[in-house]
């Protein structure tokens, strides 16, 4: 049984080494500057403070895609433009989905 395991391991190792030998030489990756930032991908945040809430507007390329509303009373929530058509839908957390659990009546007394 051990001999069979050793043979299988040898075949797999031989196939891995054969695959490494057939790879073409690739050029090295380009050197990236650690301080370089792509301004088009970085969201611009505008903070508007009102007397009863704080509104943070997130824009990329000048287009508004997310609004965070932080009321004085209650938890913060997000308005997100999911399709890019200007229609915002509410989400109660940054990773919350719009999925609502089913609330079926199974039995009533």
Predicted confidence at residue 100, as pLDDT, reads 64
- What mean pLDDT comes out for the span 11-36? 66
Task: Fold for 44-91, please state it.
Answer: 2.20.130
Q: Count how many Cα atoms sit within 13 Å of the Cα of residue 22 in the half-sphere of its side chain.
A: 6
Query: What would the pLDDT profile of 35-76 be if each residue is shown by its tens digit?
Result: 666 666 688 999 999 999 999 999 988 889 999 999 999 889
Rounded mean pLDDT of the chain? 78
Residue 92: its pLDDT value, please? Answer: 79
Q: What is the pLDDT of residue 83?
A: 82
pLDDT of residue 21: 54
Higher per-residue confidence, 67 vs 100: 67
Q: Provide the pLDDT for residue 51.
A: 93
Torsion 93-96-98-104 (CA) sign: negative
d(CA 71, CA 50): 9
Q: pLDDT at position 16, please?
A: 58
Q: Helix %, strand %, coil % for the chain, to 5?
A: 20, 30, 55
What is the domain partition of the chain in residue ranges? 44-91
Q: What is the model's pLDDT at position 56?
A: 94
Q: Within the chain, where are the H helices?
A: 2-21
């Amino acid at each position: 049984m051990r001999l069979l395991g050793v043979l299988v391991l040898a075949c797999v190792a031989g196939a891995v080494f054969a695959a490494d030998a057939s790879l073409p030489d690739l050029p090295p990756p380009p050197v990236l500057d650690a301080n370089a930032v792509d301004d088009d991908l970085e969201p611009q945040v505008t903070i508007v403070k009102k007397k009863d809430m704080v509104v943070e507007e997130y824009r990329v390329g000048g287009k508004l895609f997310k609004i965070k509303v932080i009321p004085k009373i209650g938890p913060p929530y997000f308005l997100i433009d999911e399709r890019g058509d200007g229609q915002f839908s509410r989400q109660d957390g940054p990773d919350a989905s719009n999925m609502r659990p089913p609330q079926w009546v199974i039995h009533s007394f």
